[in-house]
Amino acid sequence: MLYAIGMNFELTPEHLMLKDLCRDFARKEIAPYADEWFDAEHFPVEVYRKMADLNLMGLLIPEEYGGTNAGTMAMVVALEEIGKVDQSIATTLQAHLTIGSLPFLHFGTEAQKKQWLAPLARGERLGAFGLTEAEAGSDAANIQTTAHRDGDSWVVNGTKCFISNAGTPISYGLVALTTNGKDESGKRRYCALIIPKGTPGYTIGRRYKKIGWHGVDTREQIFENVRVPRENLLGEEGSGFRAFLKTLECGRISVATLGLSLAQGCLEMSTKYALERKTFGKPLASHQAIQFKLADMATQVEMARLMIYRAAWLRDQGQPFATQAAMAKLASSEIAVRAAEEAVQIHGGYGYTREFPVSRFYLDSKILTIGEGTSEVQRMVIARQLGC
């Protein structure tokens, strides 16, 4: 379904309280250190512990499993405030809240939810989603990591690449998509398996050197005859691929929000700079060319926000939201890339130095059109809905 009526985007008093809490937290606990952490490629474990104390790590998880069940709009509001200041922290948080935790909520047994989901929702552990491989990014169905049953165990072999959140001091491991043969009709079968850190044969590779997202822990995950108990199967045997695709739907709302927050951050920094910096005897903000850049940026930020709110609202109403999430992710990530470029332009030479945070936002922006489905993949998802 592409269209829904009866939208209400008004933030509730709870959303507004959460927004204030996150803005205050980001200003005091993150902003003063964000550039230093970025340059040192530091993963600030203590920040996630503090966010756990503020009940931010289980926003989409019901109370009975340790979360706050605050909802998708609440997640968007929280991520926007944090992402305006630090994209690495917002990224780690969003991956944890959606793709890292939702597979347990949607497909886990009661016992799996108690054992694995509750520590994630309480923020004692970080959630990670193991889909991508060397030959399977956009072409996700082409994964080569295998799992076969041996008595009461699953034995896993293969390598996942670009996996965020699985290699930190607070990671529990990951949920990995594996393939295990074909069904009677010749279709490949997939299984989602919980692979805990420390399992013999499971090696966590070195951190990638990335253009941006320096505080996001992204690594290869190598499985050599990794044996996990039969009960680590998440969802039904053979249904893993569908489970992973379903999980990505909400992931797209959270990545879209990273884009929104990045663009909003760029708008705020650029407006402030344009009001302060003088050229030709007057503030930059008095030159119409600069005013138009800011006006375009503000307009696009608002477009991104409305699209994200709509996708989030649909999800909170229990309505289909996959197409709106893909549209929001596509639009918002591309808006973020443009906003970052214009923000550097407005800052001139200073924007090209690491003295100003806009340069960090510029470096963090490009991944948004790639991670959790590239812009091309989002277009494929949208075109499929159009009947193409």
Ligand X SMILES: Cc1cc2nc3c(=O)[nH]c(=O)nc-3n(C[C@H](O)[C@H](O)[C@H](O)COP(=O)(O)OP(=O)(O)OC[C@H]3O[C@@H](n4cnc5c(N)ncnc54)[C@H](O)[C@@H]3O)c2cc1C
**Residues near ligand X, by CB under 6 A:** 95, 129-132, 137-139, 162-164, 210, 213, 218, 367, 370-374, 376-377
Other residues' Cβ atoms within 10 Å of the Cβ of residue 115: 16
Residue 52 CB, nearest approach to ligand X (Å): 20
Residue 196 CB, nearest approach to ligand X (Å): 17
Cα(176)–Cα(173) distance, rounded to whole angstroms? Answer: 9
Residue 296 CB, nearest approach to ligand X (Å): 25
> Strand ranges (DSSP E) for the chain?
129-130, 146-150, 153-164, 173-182, 188-196, 202-207, 218-229, 233-238, 278-279, 282-283
Q: Is 224 a catalytic residue?
A: no
Say which of 237, 355, 372, 376 is annotated catalytic. Answer: 372
Q: Select 68 or 171, whichever has its Cβ closest to ligand X.
A: 171
Q: Select 17 or 45, whichever has its Cβ closest to ligand X.
A: 45
Other residues' Cβ atoms within 10 Å of the Cβ of residue 17: 13
Q: Select 222 or 370, whichever has its Cβ closest to ligand X.
A: 370
128, 165 contact by CB (below 8 A): yes
Residue 372 CB, nearest approach to ligand X (Å): 5
Residues near 304 by Cβ (< 8 Å), separated by ≥ 6? 256, 259, 260, 263, 328, 331, 332, 335, 336
Furthest C-alpha separation in the chain? 79
What one-letter code names the amino acid at 137? G
Instruction: Please give the residue whose beta carbon sits closest to ligand X in the complex.
Output: 137
Q: Select 20 or 139, whichever has its Cβ closest to ligand X.
A: 139
Cα(117)–Cα(102) distance, rounded to whole angstroms? Answer: 9
List the catalytic residues: 372
